[in-house]
Chain A
């Protein structure tokens, strides 16, 4: 599957798909708008009290926007998943998300198997899943562990701490450490900025180590801009101060944006295609093989029982 190459003044436009998962009110839409610097996902208005608190299924919606970060142009598709984890019984929700992700792989599998392929085929496989964790400061909840465990084999996962501006430095550091420990104990494989000691240069290794140490990313988002020291910035204003979203001393958004929109785009896509999709493909095909064998066996048995028929 090739990228959609649009020749615009000699620059290549990349295709990148991400999905964002987490409970209501964690600032997912705001974060996407912050990331893309564009009102990509409209604010969820819920004016009818009768509708607001109904039990729902996950309402999977895709939004596409163009970005240009560090000279890298992208057609970014963000898949939003409102409703995840909000029901009294949310145990079926992660299956809905898993199905969506696998469905994109199925589409590619089907396309690859065609004799006459569609040159305009849009690759909608998800290259990264951003998982938003609420800033409780305690441990990961059952739903957090289940989601990451079930999905880590099917998609690159980057965990993020949502609304991280409520935590003190000590709380944030302890929380990050605890989350990563829980992830290790539950054998969840994240995208943890892998590097090759032999192949990669020192700078790359250093960069990846630093990014790995930031996991999970502390995220703050804002739809509003404020005038701070003469500059217009995305920020949140409280009676007790102003949080600047792009300030690396305040949160990890600047680094995360770099990862998602320029530095690690290619790597995330390659991992998705070369490793994750391949694994899915092998599993799916051997399942089909297994089924075919079983069917042949049943046919043979049926023939043996009725020797007269063909």
Chain B
């Protein structure tokens, strides 16, 4: 075998032009477009649809709340995916929102999580099948859930037993980002105490939320340190205390997105002193969207490994001499 030489750093004499690699990649990616799949999980009436529409500044989904008196409550959790093509400055995003109406609607909610877990695993299974096909597609359409926004009721006390079970089971198989819904029902003191309590409980139950602690190989350069600082700040803020609104109200002569309550309180969605909507929006769309997609691949890998090992065991037991 020929001896492998250590790669040397060699200076080049003139401009070659391979510094356009990032641009070439960008052009290809822009042409292909991006896909992001987000799932909304939480009890009825927590403002899930409104928040999502506020996040993407468009009426993407309708509230699945029961507004008609004769409509009976749903007996199982329904899975309702809706896909939209949205564009911003030439960047095309295929956004799929998966709503889960019926979750936690009944008196007995023992099985309300099952359809949700099944959907997430089915998308992994679907992707795996496509990967394993002999004649593979060039780009497999990615329907895997990249982020679950988990809506917590603003009780101001503690998480409910169902919340704990749901968070744990979901965080095991995909990225989960919890938010405190309708945060305008809590004063700032109540909000701080509630967040602290939630964080305590999440830690106690060993729930691994996104963003997880990543093992970045030393030494860390300036970029890595910046990224880590940003991620640490986000981790400290979770769960985000949010308020959503598709309506605009006039504040100080300017139209802003917000709510005007019966007693005259005016809550501005984009005002950082009022709620953490902007932090969630920036986190989800401006800084960590790509990372959410990439870490979903890690969850998928874990699923894939389990499935392939199970398949192998099955095959082995079928061809063993004892049979």
Contacts and interface: CB of A to CB of B under 8 A. Distances in A.
Interface of A: 23-26, 44, 46, 49-50, 52-55, 85-91, 93, 134-139, 141-143, 146, 163-169, 172, 178, 181-182, 185, 218, 236-244, 247, 249-251
A136 B46 contact: yes
Interface in B73-119: 73, 105-110
8 contacts: A89-B109, A138-B67, A142-B73, A146-B107, A165-B265, A168-B260, A238-B187, A240-B265
B197 to A, nearest CB: 8
Interface stretch (B161-169, B226-234, B285-293, B298-306): B161-169
Contacts of B66: 138-139
Contact of B45 (A23, A53, A136, A238): A136
A25 B69 contact: no
Q: Classify the secondary structure of B's interface with A.
A: loop
B266 interface: yes
Nearest to A46: B158
A241 B274 CA distance: 11
Contacts of A172: 262
A135 B185 contact: yes
A28 B68 CA distance: 28
B205 interface: yes
| Residue from the set B70, B73, B263 with the largest chain A CB neighbour count within 10 Å | B263
B159 A52 contact: yes
B261 A55 contact: no
B160 to A, nearest CB: 6
B306 to A, nearest CB: 26
Contact of A168 (B45, B201, B262, B268): B262
Contact of B261 (A46, A49, A134, A168): A168
Given A86-B160, A168-B260, 20 more contacts: A24-B157, A25-B157, A46-B157, A49-B158, A49-B200, A52-B159, A52-B197, A53-B164, A88-B165, A89-B110, A135-B185, A138-B65, A139-B66, A142-B105, A165-B185, A172-B262, A236-B187, A241-B265, A243-B263, A250-B263
A248 B71 CA distance: 33
Interface string B248-292: 000000000001111111111000011000000000000000000
Nearest to A51: B158
A137 B67 CA distance: 9
| Residue from the set A53, A163, A164, A244 with the largest chain B CB neighbour count within 10 Å | A53
Interface of B: 44-46, 63, 65-71, 73, 105-110, 153-165, 182, 184-185, 187-188, 197, 200-201, 203-205, 259-268, 273-274
B185 A178 contact: no
Given A165-B261, A240-B266, A249-B263, A53 B108 contact: no
Contact of A86 (B67, B106, B161, B259): B161
Contacts, number: 147
Contact of A141 (B73, B267, B274): B73
A25 B156 contact: yes
A53 B161 contact: yes
Contact of B274 (A23, A46, A143, A239): A239
A166 B263 CA distance: 9
Nearest to B203: A49
Nearest to B249: A168
| Residue from the set A165, A181, A249 with the largest chain B CB neighbour count within 10 Å | A165
Given A50-B204, A89-B107, A138-B66, A44 B157 contact: yes
B181 to A, nearest CB: 10
Contacts of B268: 240
Contact of B263 (A23, A55, A142, A244): A244
Given A182-B69, A238-B184, A141 B105 contact: yes
Nearest to B106: A142
Nearest to A27: B156
A91 B184 contact: no
A139 B261 contact: no
A41 B106 CA distance: 29
A169 B262 CA distance: 5
A21 to B, nearest CB: 14
A168 B108 contact: no
A16 to B, nearest CB: 28
A53 B158 CA distance: 7
B106 A25 contact: no
A26 B106 CA distance: 18
| Residue from the set B156, B184, B185 with the largest chain A CB neighbour count within 10 Å | B185
B278 to A, nearest CB: 15
Given A53-B158, A134-B45, A238-B187, A139 B267 contact: no
A240 B274 contact: yes
A47 B262 CA distance: 35
A288 B261 CA distance: 55
| Residue from the set A165, A240, A241, A251 with the largest chain B CB neighbour count within 10 Å | A240
B155 A25 contact: yes
A164 B261 CA distance: 9
